[in-house]
Amino acid sequence: MKTNKAIVMRSFGLLLILIFHLITFSFVFSYLFFILNIRLSFFAQVILSQIFSFFLPFLIYLLITGKKINDIIPLKTLSIKNTMFIFAIVFSAIPLANLISFISSLFFTNQIENILLPAITNYPLGLLLLSIAVTPSILEEIIFRGVFYKELEKLPIKTAAILNGLFFGIIHMNFQQFFYTFILGILLTYIFYYTKSILAPMLAHFIFNGFSVVYTYWVLNNFNFTENRINEIIDNQETSIFGIVFISLILILCFFVFVNLMKKFVEYNTQKQNI
């Protein structure tokens, strides 16, 4: 039987292999596209990147280990109550994740924002959801709540969740994204642990990314938030004070709602497993 240390070391080894694969893939494809003068749309780049970054390593992992797909990504049907729990939990967590992201952006550049904003203003919403919400929620969950959790499942759930979240944050290779993806990774691991279905974290991941895409798309296409207008709003002391108080109250409310929902979610699934 593997010791906890051996499990952790093996998992970190797999993470390093995946990072090496991502860097190599990025370099090789960029070089080939440059040499062959191939130009792909934003959506093609994102989807191909996800497939080669996560689905290909997943297939290689299956071939090397000989494990069955169902053992790694159990497709247990979600109950209506669990589906409702997931929607409520994610929506209560989104403001908290945005707060973490905002704090991180004070210290690190948001590189992803510079890439995504032009795409969100120039492409249809359906294609944006497919490339930014659907594809990552499936392929990233297969790797992190599938392969990595399978490697970590013999550890205590708290340890497994923290390591899974850590790996999830590291693989984004962006300091600004690391902190909220770390927390999100922990949450998705707990959701998977209690539902015993890969569909649960996939759904949660989709809601999280999808809401961000839809909200940003709606704001950018319906409001004229120029830099001067934003500065005017910030410089307005009354507006700023009201905004800070309002947002603080919303965050406090979301935190207590999130904690309460998670307690009920855990109780519900624990009772189901004991029946």
Start-end of H helices in 106-226: 111-122, 125-129, 135-141, 149-152, 157-171, 175-195, 199-222
pLDDT, tens digit, for every residue of 170-207?
998 888 889 999 999 999 999 999 999 999 999 999 99
Dihedral sign, CA of 197, 271, 86, 187? negative
How does the average pLDDT of the chain come out, rounded? 86
Which of 33-42, 167-176, 208-217, 242-251 bottoms out in mean pLDDT, i.e. has the lowest?
33-42
Model pLDDT, residue 230: 47
Q: What is the mean pLDDT of residues 135-162?
A: 95
Residues 6 or more apart whose CB falls under 8 angstroms from that of 234 comprise 240
Tell me the two tokens of residue 49: 């990147």
Q: Which of 16, 163, 10, 176 is nearest to 106 (CA)?
A: 176
pLDDT range class, residue 114, cuts 50, 70, 90: low
Model pLDDT, residue 101: 87
Dihedral sign, CA of 25, 28, 30, 32? negative
Residues 6 or more apart whose CB falls under 8 angstroms from that of 87 comprise 207
The DSSP secondary structure of 104-131, one letter per residue, reads HHTTS--HHHHHHHHHHHHS-HHHHHII
Which of 84-98, 157-171, 239-253 bottoms out in mean pLDDT, i.e. has the lowest?
239-253
Query: Are the C-beta atoms of residues 223 and 213 closer than 8 Å to each other?
Result: no
Model pLDDT, residue 147: 95
Model pLDDT, residue 234: 45
Q: Could you tell me which residue, 240 or 88, shows the higher pLDDT?
A: 88
Model pLDDT, residue 229: 52
Q: What are phi and psi of 169, to 5 degrees?
A: -70, -45
Is 247 a residue whose pLDDT tops 70?
A: yes
Task: Please give the DSSP secondary-structure letter assigned to residue 198.
Answer: T
pLDDT, tens digit, for every residue of 16-37?
999 998 888 888 877 777 677 7
Q: Could you tell me which residue, 55 or 234, shows the higher pLDDT?
A: 55
Angle made by CA atoms 117, 244, 241, in degrees to the nearest 5 = 120
Q: What is the mean pLDDT of residues 195-221?
A: 92
pLDDT range class, residue 220, cuts 50, 70, 90: confident
Model pLDDT, residue 194: 96
Residues 6 or more apart whose CB falls under 8 angstroms from that of 104 comprise 175, 176, 177, 178, 179, 180
The DSSP secondary structure of 49-103, one letter per residue, reads HHIIIIIHHHHHHHHHH---HHHHS--PPPPHHHHHHHHHHHHHHHHHHHHHHHH
Tell me the two tokens of residue 225: 């938030």
> How far apart (Å, rounded) are the C-alpha atoms in residues 175 and 15?
17
H or E stretch covering 4 = helix 4-36
pLDDT range class, residue 275, cuts 50, 70, 90: low
Q: Where are the domains of the chain?
A: 4-274
Q: What is the mean pLDDT of residues 133-138?
A: 94
Q: What is the mean pLDDT of residues 208-215?
A: 92
Counting residues of the chain whose pLDDT is more than 90, the rounded percentage is 53
Model pLDDT, residue 137: 96
Q: What is the mean pLDDT of residues 152-177?
A: 93
Query: Are the C-beta atoms of residues 175 and 100 closer than 8 Å to each other?
Result: no
Model pLDDT, residue 232: 52
